[in-house]
Structure 1
């Protein structure tokens, strides 16, 4: 992860792509230790895609 600085505050959406739910939620929990976030309660998978995704709203 790299620090990013923006000129103005605003909404950011972070999408996590992982091979399984456990990995997606582990990443989410790690990120939640760094900033306040609205955590995802579930992941989704597009048909034919091997990955699971979850969106966080920091």
Structure 2
């Protein structure tokens, strides 16, 4: 399964908070990039929709 990373967010802690609030699993790599599973891309986009703080690319 592909993983995708979130970038261009304004606040690292806010991004984690949004993911936690929406119960979306994520991993953080050594560059502090936040990765989500392919199955969580749509929920992530919906959760972040009100904020222009994300961009998804394949990990």
Answer whether TM exceeds 0.5 for this pair.
no
TM-score by length of 1: 0.34
Which has the larger share of strand? 2
Instruction: From the CA coordinates, give the structure whose radius of gyration is larger.
Output: 1
TM-score by length of 2: 0.34
Between the two structures, name the one with larger relative contact order (CA 8 Å, sep ≥ 6).
Answer: 2
